Amino acid sequence: MAKLFDISIPEGASQLKLDSQGRGSVHYTVKSLTRSPIDARAVLIPVPATPADPNHPVAKGWVKIEGKAERHFDVNGEDSFTVTVIIPPKTSAGTYSFRLDVVSVARTDEGDSSPVVTFNVAAAEPVKQKWGLIAAIIAAVVIVAGVTTWLILRKPGGGIPNVVGMSISDATTALTKVNVRIQQPIVTQVGSSSDADRVLAQSVPPHTAIGQNASISLTVGAELVTVPNIIGLSVANAQTTLSNARLSLGKVTNAANSNFSSGVIWKQSPDVNLSVQTNSTVDVTATPQTVAVPVLTGLAIADVIARIQSAQLTLSGYSGNLTTSNTIAQSIAPGTAVPIGTPLTVTFPSTVPCPTPAACFYYGPTARLLAPKTAHW
């Protein structure tokens, strides 16, 4: 049973059919079930997960999450993830399964799993023997010529790999495997849409011997895209809109604006309809998300905690020593609009003053009774 997230896939998607090029995709809908905003991370898990199979398509990187794996969910927030499968030619035939887990960024051991998705990799069709002896002779000549050329051109150890034409993700994987660092920032060059996010040039020629602390500069293709209008959207919805436009969210600044409701964006940079390169960031200014302070007087401590947590606020302490009684005052009046996470204190009745501060209990922000602690007066 889901605890933090409800993860669903379209009907019939659990049996993924790959096309003739070994490609396919699955669309996941993730809904937050938490009572407060949460930052989440999507993780691909091979099935069975143990023992780990280094040849599983997930381990090989052939199954990937498109876009950002980390997302922010508001209360009852919903977002979507797309997982793509790209199986290289001549991959061994077999049946493979995986699932998508969505976990809390703060507590990665807490999360939920999607339904298991299974796909088949078909065996390559055998070449029909219809060319006879002549075809066999031609094939042998080609093989000998290829091996001879490789022996002439190759250098010991293989050297720097050729990453031109690869996606930047695949190029990063290939270079990391041989301990070659990619110099930052990566150079971009605007070109056709087919060149976007692909390596156009590398500063070190392929097969160059790799030394210690080797590094390489890459030129990656980019495409000009139009910045969408995200004014009036929540930060979470703006992330989705920017991701669909092949952009990403940059710096988020909180600042009040009386013309906008709480928790929405009222300024963006670059501005709407400007042309920028793919994968550029858009900085935003948003109004602080506010909530109304609940009524906390006349309640037992357990009810106070429940109301404060439900309102996404914080109990920072209390005064008074009759903590078995109900509260008689609160630090901020009920109904006051305050930013999420605002600390509150409550007051209990007192019979006599505490003899020493350490003799009084203090209710900490972690919702655990701590003693002794310095009381808040």
Q: What is the tens place of the pLDDT at every residue in 263-279?
A: 899 999 999 999 999 88
pLDDT at 367: 33
Any domain includes 95: yes
- CATH code of the domain containing 271: 3.30.10.20
Q: Please say if the pLDDT value at position 356 is more than 90.
A: no
Per-residue pLDDT band for 355 (boundaries 50, 70, 90) equals low
Any domain includes 128: no
**Do 218 and 246 have their domain in common?**
no
Domain final position from 94, 121, 148? 121
Domain final position from 177, 196, 222? 222
Instruction: Work out the average pLDDT over 89-108.
Output: 88
- CATH code of the domain containing 330: 3.30.10
Q: Which range, 69-73, 301-305, 340-344, 372-376, has the best average confidence (pLDDT)?
A: 69-73
Any domain includes 376: no
Q: Please say if the pLDDT value at position 51 is more than 90.
A: no
Q: Please say if the pLDDT value at position 132 is more than 70.
A: no
Q: Please say if the pLDDT value at position 365 is more than 50.
A: no
Any domain includes 377: no
pLDDT at 258: 87
Any domain includes 349: yes
Whole-model pTM: value is 0.38
* HSE of 277, CA atoms in CB hemisphere, 13 A: 14
Q: Please say if the pLDDT value at position 351 is more than 80.
A: no
Q: Which of 334, 346, 338, 286 is nearest to 312 (CA)?
A: 338
Q: CB neighbours of 188 closer than 8 A, spacing ≥ 6?
A: 219, 220, 221, 222, 277
Q: Please say if the pLDDT value at position 52 is more than 80.
A: no
The domain tally of the chain equals: 4
Instruction: Work out the average pLDDT over 317-345.
Output: 88
pLDDT at 354: 54
User: Domain of 299?
Assistant: 291-370
The whole-chain average pLDDT of the chain stands at 82
